[in-house]
Amino acid sequence: MPLAVYAGSFDPITNGHMDIIRRSLEVFDEVIVAIAVNEAKVPLFSTEERLELLKEIFKDEPRVRVEEFSGLLVDFARKMGSKVLVRGLRAVSDFEYEFQMAQMNQKLFPEIETLFLMTCQQYFYVSSRVVKEVARFGGNVQDLVPPQVSALLLHKFGGPNELR
């Protein structure tokens, strides 16, 4: 399989996301990490910050390309020449939403397939939302995100509280 798209807001990217990307590279020749731009959401990190951050994280992995997109994911995938979307699942609750989206995507672009990958057990509880909340209150998130993300969170919220 030559090319897959793994889309998300990645605000910020977590080790759970990293796990899905690494495992996708075992199946696909190239993975486009697509940062969704959603005007309805107010992200902690700007689109530009997320682009720079992900490009820095993957600078030594030529098979990962980082792009941004807005609008329908299937339109972006078609434009990039991909017929596969990779989606990460943490729990059954994720599956319901992701299954609906996969069905709608296939309705819009019948050639598209969605590959679901279960997040490794050690990251089942990790989400960008939870990471931001823990960091905001001074908790240490170094084991949950890449070092570059941890450094940016420290810059935005201040240092980790080692007593927590």
| 51 burial type by CB count under 10 A (0-12 exposed, 13-18 middle, 19+ buried) | middle
Q: Could you say which of 23, 65, 78, 90 is catalytic?
A: 90
Q: Could you say which of 41, 93, 155, 164 is catalytic?
A: 41
Q: For this structure, is 90 an active site residue?
A: yes
What Cα–Cα distance (Å) separates residue 100 from each residue in 74, 87, 95, 110, 121?
14, 12, 8, 15, 24
Q: Could you say which of 87, 128, 132, 150 is catalytic?
A: 128
| Strand ordering across the sheet containing 3-8 | 64-69, 30-36, 3-8, 84-89, 113-118
Q: Are 5 and 84 in contact (CB under 8 A)?
A: yes
Q: For this structure, is 17 an active site residue?
A: yes
Q: Could you say which of 17, 50, 83, 87 is catalytic?
A: 17
**Residue 78 structure tokens:** 């078609």
As annotated, the active-site residues are 17, 41, 90, 128
